[in-house]
Amino acid sequence: MKRVLEFAMSDEVRSQDTVFVIISVAMTKVGRELAWNFLQENWQVLMERYQGGFLIARLVKSTTENFASEERAQELEAFFKEHPSPGTERTVQQSVETIRLNAEWLARDKDDIRAYLQSVCN
């Protein structure tokens, strides 16, 4: 998956398609971590390329909204505080809110979900 992310930034991929390649990597748990790290490491290049347009907002949303911990929400807040991103402020705010809602849901229901899955898988 790392090679796919690196390929996404190459001259072989049209810039308008780069975002969708990165998003596709972010669709799995492992890929989500890789895509988020990749986004952070390449933030300046991505901002220069997309200049705060809808593609960068979509990338932020798609690479972050499925996290589910308060620590991750705080990490996002810290990153975007340090790296202001005109045009993505609302998306960042919504992603942080979604992450916190995911974390609350997981904390509230994980034992019930585990019990249910164990009952149907045994």
CATH top-level class for 2-121? mainly alpha
Full pLDDT tens readout for the chain, 122 residues: 999 999 999 999 999 999 999 999 999 989 999 999 999 999 999 999 998 789 999 999 999 999 999 999 999 999 999 998 888 999 999 999 999 999 999 999 989 988 999 999 87
Return d(Cα 37, Cα 94) in angstroms, integer: 19
- In the chain, domain spans: 2-121
Question: What pLDDT shows up at residue 105?
Answer: 95
Q: Which residue has the tokens 């979900």?
A: 113
pTM of structure: 0.88
- Please state, in angstroms and rounded to a whole number, the distance separating the CA atoms of residues 55 and 78: 22
